[in-house]
Amino acid sequence: MKTFPFPVSIRTTRLHLRQWQDKDLAPFAALNADPEVTQFFPAPLTQEQSNTMARRCQSLIDERGWGLWAVESLQSKAFVGMIGLHIPTAPLPFAPCVEIGWRLGKEHWGNGYATEGAIAALEVAFRDIELEEVVAFTSVHNTKSEAVMQRIGMKRDEHTFAHPAVSSDNWLSQHCLYRIGKQV
Ligand SMILES: CC(C)(COP(=O)(O)OP(=O)(O)OC[C@H]1O[C@@H](n2cnc3c(N)ncnc32)[C@H](O)[C@@H]1OP(=O)(O)O)[C@@H](O)C(=O)NCCC(=O)NCCS
């Protein structure tokens, strides 16, 4: 796994995946306060929690060069959401691993942005960071996120798992796991 002494940024046809900026905090907090965007997470985030998450993403990108990037529309410059790579801290049954994830403002759903950004992030994961495998996981009820995993070529593990950070009697406990290996 390679790290870089500068923030890697990625341009796709329509998106810029880049280091976080102060102007992202307000639209990110709005997205994290939206009950539809957060319906498969334990709860919507307060502004403070959202800012903490953005700052954490920013410092991990400073540390490693890569991470969960802020996503901006190349055309409108609007903040679209977050897409990228992360080393989970929870004691997951398949750890250590690098996961790919996405979270977009509702107004940006239905355009193929998550798929476009994730394909570009996977390219960086295998070509530049030199990872052997990337995983993704989500609540078994989060069919939109699972559809992104399928569209970018990931394959579903046979077994679901109980997320260690979610209470086992919570409806969000069971998660599906997807994997993709380096394409040779
Ligand atoms: C998960 C999430 C990113 C998926 O968003 P999405 O818009 O469904 O996914 P994409 O951006 O890849 O867009 C695909 C959709 O755009 C459509 N689309 C329109 N133009 C397109 C284009 N040029 N290229 C590709 N797809 C296009 C596709 O047909 C598809 O629509 P469908 O779902 O009706 O079939 C979004 O629902 C979200 O942010 N959810 C909340 C956060 C979350 O749960 N994150 C995952 C946690 S693990």
What does the mean pLDDT of the chain come to? 97
Exposure of 140 by Cβ count < 10 A (0-12 exposed, 13-18 middle, 19+ buried)?
middle
Name all residues whose Cβ lies below 6 A of ligand 1: 37, 40, 101-104, 109-115, 138, 142, 144-145, 147-148
Mean pLDDT, to the nearest integer, of 27-42?
A: 97
- Checking if the pLDDT of 184 tops 90, the result is no
In this predicted structure, what is the pLDDT of residue 183? 77
Helix (H) or strand (E) holding 127: helix 113-127
Per-residue model confidence (pLDDT) at position 172: 96
Which atom, in ligand 1's list, is nearest to the CA of 103? 39
pLDDT for the residue numbered 75? 98
Q: For residue 113, what pLDDT band results from cuts at 50, 70 and 90? A: very high
What b/e readout covers 112-133, taking b as 16+ CB neighbours within 10 angstroms? ebbbbbbbbbbebbbeebebee
Burial of 71 (0-12, 13-18, 19+ CB in 10 A): buried
Q: What CATH architecture applies to the domain 10-181?
A: 3-Layer(aba) Sandwich (3.40)
Question: How many Cα atoms are found within 13 Å in the side-chain-facing hemisphere of 40?
Answer: 16
Q: Give residue 132's pLDDT.
A: 97
